[in-house]
Amino acid sequence: MAEAISDKTLTNTAYTDEHIRTLEGLEHVRLRPGMYIGKLGDGSYADDGIYVLLKEVIDNSIDEFRMQNGTQITITLDDKTLTVRDFGRGIPQGKMIAAVSVMNTGGKYDSKAFQKSVGLNGVGTKAVNALSSQFIVKSFRDGKVKQADFSCGKLTKEYELEPTSEPNGTFVQFTPDETIFEKYSFREEFIETMLRNYSYLNTGLTITFNGHKFVSRNGLLDLLNENNTAEALYPIVHLKGEDIEIAFTHTDQYGEEYYSFVNGQHTTQGGTHQSAFREAFGKTIKEFYNKTAMELSDIRNGLVAAVSVAVQEPVFESQTKIKLGSRDMGPDGPTVAKFIGDFVKKEVDNYLHRNLETADIMLKKIQDSEKERKAIAGVTKLARERAKKVSLHNKKLRDCRIHLNDPKGGDLRYESCIFITEGDSASGSITKSRDVNTQAVFSLRGKPFNSYGYTKKVVYENEEFNYLQAALNIEDGLEGLRYNKVIIATDADVDGMHIRLLLMTFFLQFFPDLVKKGHVYILQTPLFRVRNKKETRYCYSEEERIEAINALGANPEITRFKGLGEISPDEFKHFIGKDMRLDQIKLRKEDAVSDLLAFYMGRNTPERQEFIVENLVVEEDNL
């Protein structure tokens, strides 16, 4: 009945001239912010909108540096207000207000003033202005300063041109609008990671954030040294040319790991330049060893590489610029594939001829990968066939409609996720509550196998791992990954925690790049429900439970959820919606994966028992 009423109401709705609107100024940005900065978020994740706002401002300062104007950028964070000051040329003062408030206005349409820039569509700073409750811009040029103040994209005060003793450059201060970014807060660790990447890609630039300096002398070599969580088998190879820089090595980890950049922009989803590098590297290595029968998967197994290119007028697949779509280096230049291919073929080949010890180590790594692959070839073929049949019959996977690797999905691709859960009741609750467009569910049967210490053969021999690998589509690397977030959703009890550890071991052992690229998360679900006749509160900790009891008054009803299967689908939809709580699994350089897994998942039972006892004592002391 409800549907019939709804349809009738829609049919009878008038459609008149009054429904035709023209959005003034930056209204469209405020109405549809996701089109310009991706998801909004509250600052809990590195890809939340508030960090995109900062990136858009910094990109302009980086472009100034890349045009050889200014070698310093100073950034300060004061609670929820960010200030960025560069020492470039400063925005031309007569057009300064238009440059930050009128869409499709900017200096980067003129390739003479900004060559190989990131921001080419005249949107970035305007979006920051529109989505900030306070936005102040100052331009310092030739002893004069021009200032303008805005609120929510609207000019509130324009100042007269005044004399100044400050050096040339641009000052931008903004506070993201809390009516759009609800209950947000900045995490300095995410900002620092962003700035560290900027420093790797712009040697000679000093970035200061709240008094802490970021500077790199060796570019991508420093990046790999700082990010490697497995020991390099040979010294990192670092090669530079005009408009291109690469660095690479092999490790004993499985899979491939890439860091790719365009004009200083971190393309976390890769793109044409990353694909071109992968193809060119494999082809070059084949030719160097004169072994045309070499498999590309063997050549690239364990490869950790970074590639940065400068492209004139780059085309990205979305406004957030995390995947390059350009096929050409510029209007009159070669294709991206040819440019990168020619560089890799010449420079990598020359390097290996001059460094035969490195060449020997690389060859041994490739041969070891080949032996392992051939040893499991039969198992692999059967496993692929089984996985394909299971996917078709939908026994393990309740898939969603939009996937990360589907370019037709638009920006919704980055909302795609898969919940990995155990048991029919839990997977059933999530399946009934999910958004079928972007949320998939994979159901485990019992506890996964402890994969630590085994070769990749176990991935194909173990039915659960084989099906999971097939569902994610990561057998040949992350380029085919179907979901942006891989979410481990288990009960908050001992068994659930054990399943978490076993799944994390599987990913760290065989697909460490999935973790390092920030795709793996833990779903936090409530431990308690506290309610009275007027209000219901879900509590994720003992502290929240006590707070809820105090807030709701005398004798509220308290329910302790023992498992996900006990939460009804109607309730579950609150926990996997736009406000779902996720803990991202992260890896740092000091988290040496092999040592980490050996201690927590290896056969050193006495050491682990001692660790547990010691930490239980500490916990008791705290109580």
List, for residues 536-587, the tens digit of each pLDDT value.
Answer: 898 888 899 999 999 988 789 999 887 787 788 888 888 888 778 888 888 7
Contact criterion met (CB below 8 Å) for 368 and 362: no
pLDDT category, 604, cuts 50, 70, 90? low
Contact criterion met (CB below 8 Å) for 244 and 309: yes
Does residue 405 have a pLDDT over 80? yes
Same domain, 357 and 229: yes
**DSSP β-ladder status, 81-86 and 169-176:** antiparallel
Same domain, 122 and 270: no
Same domain, 356 and 480: no
Does residue 366 have a pLDDT over 80? yes
pLDDT category, 611, cuts 50, 70, 90? low
List, for residues 17-54, the tens digit of each pLDDT value.
Answer: 454 444 556 888 888 887 788 778 888 888 888 998 99
DSSP 160: P
Phi, psi angles (nearest 5°) of residue 170: -125, 140
Residue in the block written with tokens 């897994």? 597
Domain boundary among 346, 374, 402: 374
Domain boundary among 146, 181, 214: 214
Report the CATH number at residue 312: 3.30.230.10
Mean pLDDT of 181-188: 92
**What's residue 617's pLDDT?**
47
- Measured CA to CA, the distance from residue 142 to residue 308 in angstroms comes to 34
**What's residue 623's pLDDT?**
35
Contact criterion met (CB below 8 Å) for 381 and 320: no
- Measured CA to CA, the distance from residue 121 to residue 200 in angstroms comes to 25
Q: Strand, coil or helix: what is 613? A: helix
In a domain, 23, yes or no: no
Looking at the DSSP bridge assignments, the partners of residue 239 are 246
Q: Strand, coil or helix: what is 565? A: helix
**What's residue 7's pLDDT?**
43
In a domain, 16, yes or no: no
- Measured CA to CA, the distance from residue 38 to residue 484 in angstroms comes to 13
**What's residue 615's pLDDT?**
61
- Measured CA to CA, the distance from residue 150 to residue 157 in angstroms comes to 7
* CA–CA distances in Å: residue 321 to residues 55, 306, 315, 513, 532: 11, 18, 8, 21, 47
CA dihedral (302, 308, 311, 316) in degrees, to 10, reads: 60
List, for residues 500-521, the tens digit of each pLDDT value.
Answer: 889 998 998 889 889 988 899 9
Same domain, 402 and 431: yes
Contact residues for 443 (Cβ-Cβ < 8 A; gap 6+)? 396, 397, 398, 421, 422, 423, 424, 427
Residue in the block written with tokens 């201690």? 599
- Measured CA to CA, the distance from residue 408 to residue 286 in angstroms comes to 34
**What's residue 240's pLDDT?**
94
Same domain, 85 and 176: yes
Same domain, 381 and 497: yes
Count of structural domains within the chain = 5
Contact residues for 512 (Cβ-Cβ < 8 A; gap 6+)? 229, 230, 253, 254, 255, 257, 587, 593
* 209-214 long-range contacts, CB within 8 A, separation 24+: 209/75, 209/76, 209/77, 210/75, 210/76, 210/77
Does residue 122 have a pLDDT over 60? no
Better-predicted residue by pLDDT, 578 or 622: 578
Q: Would you state the structure tokens that stand for residue 543, as one six-digit string?
A: 């502290």
Closest CA to 249 of 409, 359, 392: 359
Same domain, 207 and 252: no
pLDDT category, 347, cuts 50, 70, 90? very high
**What's residue 13's pLDDT?**
57
**What's residue 458's pLDDT?**
87
**Could you count the other beta carbons within 10 Å of the beta carbon of residue 577?**
12
pLDDT category, 595, cuts 50, 70, 90? low
Mean pLDDT across the chain, nearest whole number? 84
Report the CATH number at residue 395: 3.40.50.670
> What length is written for the chain?
623
Q: What is the 3-state secondary structure (H, E, C) of 408-470?
A: HHHHHHHHCEEEEEECHHHHHHHHHHCCCCCEEEEEECCCCCCCCCCCCHHHHHCHHHHHHHH
Q: Strand, coil or helix: what is 471? A: helix
pLDDT category, 224, cuts 50, 70, 90? very high
In a domain, 3, yes or no: no
Does residue 9 have a pLDDT over 50? no
Mean pLDDT of 255-277: 89
Same domain, 203 and 243: no
Torsion-angle region of residue 485: left (phi > 0), alpha (psi -120 to 50) or beta? beta
In a domain, 258, yes or no: yes
Domain boundary among 327, 344, 374: 374
List, for residues 199-211, the tens digit of each pLDDT value.
Answer: 999 999 999 999 9
Does residue 609 have a pLDDT over 80? no
**What's residue 109's pLDDT?**
42
Looking at the DSSP bridge assignments, the partners of residue 422 are 444
**What's residue 598's pLDDT?**
64
State the sign of the Cα–Cα–Cα–Cα dihedral 34, 36, 38, 41. Answer: negative
Of 271-285, 292-306, 570-584, minimum mean pLDDT range = 570-584
List, for residues 123-169, the tens digit of each pLDDT value.
Answer: 689 999 999 999 999 999 999 999 999 999 999 999 999 999 999 99
**What's residue 10's pLDDT?**
45
CA dihedral (345, 348, 354, 356) in degrees, to 10, reads: -110
- Measured CA to CA, the distance from residue 303 to residue 477 in angstroms comes to 11
Same domain, 123 and 51: yes
Same domain, 519 and 413: yes
List, for residues 456-482, the tens digit of each pLDDT value.
Answer: 888 888 888 888 998 999 988 888 899
Better-predicted residue by pLDDT, 115 or 401: 401
- Measured CA to CA, the distance from residue 520 to residue 505 in angstroms comes to 12
The number of CA neighbours under 13 Å toward the Cβ of 609 is 4
Closest CA to 255 of 220, 291, 305: 305
List, for residues 410-446, the tens digit of each pLDDT value.
Answer: 778 888 999 999 877 778 888 888 999 999 999 988 8
In a domain, 605, yes or no: yes
**What's residue 113's pLDDT?**
43
- Measured CA to CA, the distance from residue 214 to residue 74 in angstroms comes to 10
With a pLDDT cut of 90, the percent of the chain lying above it is 45
DSSP 611: H
Does residue 108 have a pLDDT over 70? no
Mean pLDDT of 62-86: 93
Mean pLDDT of 243-267: 91
In a domain, 186, yes or no: yes
Report the CATH number at residue 52: 3.30.565.10
Does residue 177 have a pLDDT over 90? yes
Looking at the DSSP bridge assignments, the partners of residue 324 are 271, 316
In a domain, 19, yes or no: no
Phi, psi angles (nearest 5°) of residue 402: -115, 130
In this structure, which amino acid lies at residue 368? D
Show the domain range for 166: 28-214
Same domain, 502 and 445: yes
- Measured CA to CA, the distance from residue 513 to residue 517 in angstroms comes to 6
Residue in the block written with tokens 């697949």? 317
**What's residue 356's pLDDT?**
97
Torsion-angle region of residue 115: left (phi > 0), alpha (psi -120 to 50) or beta? beta
pLDDT category, 600, cuts 50, 70, 90? low
With a pLDDT cut of 70, the percent of the chain lying above it is 86
pTM of the complete model: 0.77
* CA–CA distances in Å: residue 509 to residues 224, 253, 423: 19, 7, 24
Contact residues for 343 (Cβ-Cβ < 8 A; gap 6+)? 239, 241, 244, 246, 280
Same domain, 175 and 303: no
In a domain, 18, yes or no: no
